[in-house]
Chain A
Amino acid sequence: MTTHYLVLSALLFAIGAVGVLIRRNAIVVFMCVELMLNACNLAFVTFARQHGNLDGQLIAFFVMVVAAAEVVVGLAIIVMIFRTRRSASVDDANLLKY
């Protein structure tokens, strides 16, 4: 029965998405994105199981690698702006608007 897993992944994705919307700290927002990615992973693995082929599982690995790369870049950027602004709140950065 794979449905549960799918529901779970959907939930995780939703939680992540909501997190992105409601959390201020850039790091946490970023974590939420990671959570969404992992929700995708879960979905992939589940579907792989469902279809009985390995593609999904393999994709999951790729996603992890990409996520890792994203972390590297993301943290670099966040740290950079944290050092200039002394704050990691995404709401502080709104000079660019309208």
Chain B
Amino acid sequence: MNGTIQAPTIEYALLSPMLIVFGAAIIGVLIEAFAPRYLRKSIHMPLTLLALLGAFATTILGGVNGLPTSASAMGAVAVDGPALFVWGIILILAFVSVLLINDDEQFVAQAAAVPGSSDEEEAVRSGYAQTEVYPLLLFAVGGMLLFSSANDLLAMFVGLEVMSLPLYLLCGLARRRRLLSQEASVKYFLLGAFSSAFFLYGMALVYGYTGTVSLKGIGDALGVVSGQETLLLIGTAMLGVGLLFKIGAAPFQAWKPDVYQGAPTAVTALMASTVLVAAFGAVLRVFWVALGGLEWNWQPVMWGIAILTMIVGAILAITQTDIKRMLAYSSVAHAGFLLTGVIATGAAAQNAKALSAILFYLAAYGFTTVGAFAVVTMVRDAGGEAGHLSRWAGLGKRSPFLAGVFAFFLLAFAGIPLTSGFFGKYAVFAAAVSGGAVPLVVVGVVSSAIAAFFYVRVIVLMFFNDPAADGPSIAVPTVGTSAVVALAAAATVVLGVFPQPVLDLADQAASALFIR
């Protein structure tokens, strides 16, 4: 026992995406501290974009250099195929969302200023901008990267928090309807903290059962340790609660509609797309790698949750009157569809199939979502964005193109062939069927038939109804926004017509499954 501690080995090359993002985030903080206000935005913007691009590039590089066979950073992070794929999606979607965020209409001038107070007017007049959003966003993204690739529960917990905390704040920074925004932020924060406490306690119990928090360790331990099954099961349940909360599976979906509606739409876009991706990365790791041996215990429960999630999402969305709220419920339903893939485990080949299906679905869904919310940001009236569906009536006549694109996104959500959504659904359901979960798939298609109703309803509103007299105007989109819409639409088309390349990519990523 000599006092020498050998330094941990860190695979900087592999981890560089994370490091870049975090580094950029910290620099961003420093900018907030030192750069003059009028310069900040013009520095933040390129910095953030560059950071994300760089991270993406290094992610690709990591993929090209061949995947490591063992976890990195002393087994804390597993930079494996799925991780890289998920990172890739997250980074692109984040990049896209940043283009949305770069819009003064989105964020409050000064969060500290009380709504309607004199100092808010002051802040608005002096053209302040809450430029902290950029570093916050970078932190959140970094958190996602860690969350989705963590190879032990501690790292995962840290990632979870690093991802969530900035988002709590971002939710509260809407420029219009600040009360709603702040309320969303509070709700998200309290419930998020509450759920992460569950995650933590579950982690503690699992640790108590296995004596380790590394996923690999847990997985191995399940085989050998015996007795105190209860401890393990409760632990599993609570871990599950923490994670399912993040993906908004029923009955933990309550926060989603409120938060999605209240938050600035750009942030909603970010959350709706990237958080789901990251969370599913984590879910898969925990339930397949760590708790794979417990399959027979958690699968039945997961069945129930998946079914409930699909149904609740579909049914509740039908009567929504706010477009963002409706999309929130739709994302609940989609989380349910994805869960069918999580359940479809079996032999290695089957797992790979399911995994790649989920990865493809995430990519497809993420793009469409960002696009849809981008369109939402453009439909405005006096009070800011025209959220209420009735205001969308006859949009198809006022601006056919925008309405057409939005309709296209909706059809993709509904899973109509020749859109990305269709192949996403198909892949997941196919995996589920070959995984023997046919009843689940039947529920899936039934609920997506129900879901189709409210997507179609919006189309009816936009195209078949006559415009409201004082209907909303279409904001002249910023370059960023229009770029986002274009990109999302392109992705939805391409993935809907030639999904093969992305499917291959997902297959490669999934072929080796998760490294332990």
Contact = CB atoms under 8 A, between A and B. Distances in A.
B47 interface: no
B185 interface: yes
B207 A77 contact: no
Contacts of A44: 204, 207
B197 A84 contact: no
Given A78-B186, A95-B180, A96-B262, A39 B201 contact: yes
A15 interface: no
B189 A73 contact: yes
B261 A96 contact: yes
B208 A20 contact: no
Given A55-B213, A80-B111, A80-B112, A47 B169 contact: no
Given A29-B190, A74-B193, A80 B182 contact: yes
B189 A51 contact: no
Contact of B182 (A56, A73, A81, A90): A81
Interface string B234-267: 0000000000000000000000011001100000
Residue of A44, A56, A78 with most partner-chain B CB within 10 A: A44
Residue of A26, A77, A95 with most partner-chain B CB within 10 A: A77
A90 B207 contact: no
Interface residues of A, number: 45
A40 B157 CA distance: 13
Nearest to A72: B165
Contact of B190 (A26, A63, A80): A26
A58 to B, nearest CB: 8
B158 A47 contact: no
A22 interface: no
B201 A40 contact: yes
A95 B200 contact: no
A43 B212 contact: no
Given A73-B168, A90-B190, A59 B183 contact: no
Interface residues of B, number: 40
A36 B165 contact: no
B313 to A, nearest CB: 15
A47 B179 contact: no
A5 B168 CA distance: 33
A96 to B, nearest CB: 4
Interface in A62-83: 62-63, 66, 69-70, 73-74, 76-78, 80-81, 83
Interface in B155-184: 157-158, 161, 165, 168-169, 172, 178-180, 182-184
Contacts of A39: 201
Given A69-B161, A70-B165, A81 B213 contact: no
Contacts of B178: 84
Given A36-B197, A53-B211, A55-B207, A26 B186 contact: yes
B485 interface: no
B201 A36 contact: yes
Contacts of B262: 96
B464 interface: no
Contacts of A74: 168, 189, 193
Interface string A32-49: 010011011001101100
Given A73-B165, A77-B169, A96 B187 contact: yes
Contacts of B204: 9, 40, 43-44, 47, 56
Residue of B165, B187, B190, B203 with most partner-chain A CB within 10 A: B190
A80 B172 contact: yes
Contacts of B157: 62-63, 66
Contacts of B179: 84-85, 95
Contacts of A13: 197, 201
Nearest to B199: A40
Contacts of B112: 80, 83
B115 interface: yes
Interface string A85-98: 10000100111110
B258 A69 contact: no
Contacts of B189: 73-74, 77
A30 B154 contact: no
B93 to A, nearest CB: 23
B208 A96 contact: no
B185 A70 contact: no
A43 B206 CA distance: 11
A59 B172 contact: no
A65 B62 CA distance: 31
Top 9 nearest A-B pairs by Cβ distance?
A36-B197, A43-B204, A51-B211, A47-B208, A96-B258, A93-B183, A40-B200, A33-B193, A81-B182
Interface of B: 111-112, 114-115, 154, 157-158, 161, 165, 168-169, 172, 178-180, 182-187, 189-190, 193-194, 197, 200-201, 203-205, 207-208, 211-213, 257-258, 261-262
8 contacts: A13-B201, A33-B193, A39-B201, A47-B204, A77-B168, A80-B172, A84-B179, A96-B258
Given A37-B200, A55-B154, A84-B182, 18 more contacts: A26-B190, A30-B193, A33-B197, A43-B208, A47-B204, A51-B211, A55-B212, A62-B158, A66-B157, A66-B158, A69-B165, A74-B189, A77-B168, A77-B189, A81-B186, A85-B179, A96-B183, A96-B262
